[in-house]
Amino acid sequence: MTNTTFRMRVLGIMAVSALTALASADALPLDDTRADESDLAAFREARFGMFIHWGLYSQLGGRWKGEKMTYIGEWIQSRSQIPNVEYAKLAKDFNPVKFNADEWVRQAKDAGMEYLVFTTKHHDGFSMYATKVSDYNIVDATPFKRDVFGELVAACRRHGLKVGLYYSQNLDWHEFDAADPRVNVSGGRTALANNGMSWGNSWDWPDDSKKDFDRYLKEKVYPQLKELLTNYGEIFVIWFDCPIGMTVKQSQDLKNYVRSIQPHVLVSGRIGNGFGDFDTPGDNQLLAGKSSALLECPITLNDTWGFKYDDHNWKSAYRVACDLTATISGNANLLLNVGPRPDGRFPDASSDVMHELSAWRKRTGIRIKGATGSPFAQEMPWGWCTVADGNVLQFVVRSDWTDDLEIYGIRNKIIACTAAYETNADRLKVHLPKPDDAMPRVVLVTLDGVPDVDGRLVPQQGELVLLPSASCRVVQGRGEGLWARRGPDREGLPDYGPWGAD
Ligand code: GLC
């Protein structure tokens, strides 16, 4: 054996033991977990993704023993305190024969989405992919026997979408050792501290004194993440969730571990303790103003993530188009949820939104991928502005605005505009097309170069819109994350605040 081959072997052995050590609870964390700039740029460029919550809970659709649940559908096991032996029986009837990965991915792509984030394991602990770590999974425990995540990955590759996965790293109601952060405000411990529910599985295991959370991490989380990161090709993001109670070391080790397998994977802020590559405001919290931090806003289409038969409070395509544009104009990404039905189809109302977004994109030519935030210092009273291709201003105008647009402060030469317009010094006047009640109007203005816009607070439409501080709360996360968030805009949805802020 030459010296070089010997050295390579030794290095190989060291690398393997380093990985094993990382997986063990007392490993020394590496101190640099920052992502490559190019990976962060790819995330920023993607702009719009589809969140998919699908699992055994979808089978129940928010109803248990004739009762309609309140709260989000994927929490039904905790809400109704369903014992694991009973909940596991749902798997026997889980047979979504109408599931068609290409159809889901095509709808997402047509709507302008660039990535998918699929629930590979939610809080109920059931794996929606082919895992050897636990037989509580869609392939081994259901008559369907198909690796739905694998099929989605293949469809994403066919249609050019990036693949993300949601993985509940902390809560797992199927595992005794998983977390049960039963904290209450006074710092004591109580069984019911989360909207009247337990965070962990306190109904099967009221005594959690023998819990060993690191054992759960070592025996389920690490091996499953290894499968997910080695068997499905390149993973764009891992969406961790609910890190309540995780220590700095647990979050950091986990981050290092996933990066050691896939150096380019990005993780959500809900890995805990500030180790996210991007942050998420609370669920259904939209951005107020602009963000310099990398941010993704997860929103529902009705009031639940997992499918519910009785939730008909659907957002319109119009509202989603406005929310999407507002989010991009603030420099953030939007992750829009679909909760597929137990038979594998998207709810009609969700598909309708996707189709309307698709038609709107085609009709107006608006660009989502790669679009960047508004170059203007102030809010626009009529809607939002984003920038495509570096030199196209995209004005998205609400239906209730009937005047012409009068925009001040553009110093560039206007090369083209999709509506009739006049210019006078730094004023651009756009004669708006008639309001289309169904969707917001779009005006595309091509400039002679990158926007050169007066950075001062120039009044627009004769007024200067600044956000009143009383309308929002500014919170500071660890790292650069700074965002303002409104209170929950819909009843019953949780408001988590900044993960790992302290
Ligand atoms: C919350 C919920 C979880 C859901 C997630 C989506 O953390 O606990 O059920 O998946 O929000 O953002």
Q: How would CATH label the architecture of 7-16+371-498? A: Sandwich (2.60)
Greatest C-alpha distance within the chain:
81
306 Cβ below 6 A of ligand 1 = no
For residue 481, give the nearest of 261, 282, 310 by alpha carbon. Answer: 282
- DSSP assignment, residue 92? G
Q: Confidence band (pLDDT; 50, 70, 90) for 288?
A: confident
Q: Could you tell me which residues come within 8 angstroms of residue 94 by beta carbon, excluding any fewer than 6 positions away?
A: 56, 59, 138, 142, 143, 144, 342
Structural contact between residues 416 and 445, judged by C-beta atoms closer than 8 angstroms: yes
What is the position in ligand 1's atom list of the atom closest to the CA of 53?
10
Structural contact between residues 46 and 114, judged by C-beta atoms closer than 8 angstroms: yes
Nearest CA to ligand 1 atom 6: 283
Distance 133 CA to ligand 1 centre (A): 24
What is the position in ligand 1's atom list of the atom closest to the CA of 119?
10
305 Cβ below 6 A of ligand 1 = yes
Q: Decide: helix, strand or coil at residue 6.
A: helix
Assess whether pLDDT exceeds 50 at residue 7: no
pLDDT tens digit sequence for 143-202: 999 999 999 999 999 999 999 999 999 999 999 999 988 765 455 666 556 787 889 999
Assess whether pLDDT exceeds 80 at residue 484: no
What is the position in ligand 1's atom list of the atom closest to the CA of 280?
12
Structural contact between residues 323 and 286, judged by C-beta atoms closer than 8 angstroms: yes
Distance CA 291, CA 303 (A): 26
pLDDT tens digit sequence for 116-151: 999 999 999 999 999 999 999 999 999 999 999 999
Structural contact between residues 371 and 47, judged by C-beta atoms closer than 8 angstroms: yes
pLDDT tens digit sequence for 192-210: 567 878 899 999 998 888 9
Of 25 and 282, the one with more pLDDT: 282
Name residue, tokens 């659709």.
61
What is the position in ligand 1's atom list of the atom closest to the CA of 171?
8
- Whether this prediction's pTM lies above 0.85 is answered by yes
- DSSP assignment, residue 78? H
Task: Say what the pLDDT of residue 185 is.
Answer: 47
What phi, psi does 383 have (nearest 5°)? Answer: 155, -130
pLDDT tens digit sequence for 35-80: 999 999 999 999 999 999 999 999 999 999 999 999 999 999 999 9
For residue 270, give the nearest of 298, 232, 231 by alpha carbon. Answer: 298
Distance CA 43, CA 151 (A): 23
Of 350 and 484, the one with more pLDDT: 350
298 Cβ below 6 A of ligand 1 = yes
Pairing of strands 48-52, 63-64: unpaired
Assess whether pLDDT exceeds 60 at residue 219: yes
* DSSP-assigned beta bridge partners for residue 119: 166
* CATH 2.60.40.1180 placement within the chain: 7-16+371-498
Distance 241 CA to ligand 1 centre (A): 7
pLDDT tens digit sequence for 354-366: 999 999 999 999 9
How does 332-351 read in b/e, with b if 16+ C-beta sit within 10 Å?
A: bbbbbbbbbbbebbbbebbb
Distance 168 CA to ligand 1 centre (A): 9
Residue 203, both tokens: 């109904």
Task: Say what the pLDDT of residue 482 is.
Answer: 37
pLDDT > 70: percent of the chain: 84
94 Cβ below 6 A of ligand 1 = no
CA angle, residues 28, 208, 129, in degrees to nearest 5: 65
* CATH 3.20.20.80 placement within the chain: 102-278
74 Cβ below 6 A of ligand 1 = yes
Torsion of CA 262, 264, 265, 268, to 10 degrees: 140
Task: Say what the pLDDT of residue 24 is.
Answer: 45
End-to-end CA distance of the chain: give it in Å, rounded: 53
Structural contact between residues 337 and 104, judged by C-beta atoms closer than 8 angstroms: no
Name residue, tokens 């647990």.
250
Q: Decide: helix, strand or coil at residue 148.
A: helix
Assess whether pLDDT exceeds 50 at residue 479: no
Domain 102-278 has CATH 3.30.390.30: no
Q: Check the CA dihedral 218-219-223-225 and report its sign.
A: negative
Nearest CA to ligand 1 atom 11: 283
pLDDT tens digit sequence for 417-429: 999 999 998 899 9
The overall average pLDDT reported for the chain is 87
For residue 268, give the nearest of 242, 240, 247 by alpha carbon. Answer: 240
Long-range contacts, 221-227 (Cβ 8 Å, 24+):
221/167, 221/169, 221/254, 222/23, 222/257, 223/133, 224/120, 224/121, 224/127, 224/131, 224/133, 224/134, 224/167, 225/167, 225/254, 225/257, 225/258, 225/261, 226/261, 227/129, 227/131, 227/132, 227/133
242 Cβ below 6 A of ligand 1 = yes
324 Cβ below 6 A of ligand 1 = no
Q: Could you tell me which residues come within 8 angstroms of residue 338 by beta carbon, excluding any fewer than 6 positions away?
A: 50, 51, 52, 53, 104, 301, 346, 347, 350
Task: Say what the pLDDT of residue 284 is.
Answer: 92
Q: Decide: helix, strand or coil at residue 475.
A: strand
Task: Say what the pLDDT of residue 191 is.
Answer: 56
Nearest CA to ligand 1 atom 8: 242
Assess whether pLDDT exceeds 80 at residue 452: yes
Distance CA 72, CA 51 (A): 15
Nearest CA to ligand 1 atom 12: 283
Phi-psi region of 485 (alpha: psi -120 to 50; beta: other; left: phi over 0): beta
What is the position in ligand 1's atom list of the atom closest to the CA of 337?
6
Of 471 and 389, the one with more pLDDT: 389
Distance CA 282, CA 188 (A): 24
Distance 6 CA to ligand 1 centre (A): 49
Q: Confidence band (pLDDT; 50, 70, 90) for 28?
A: very low
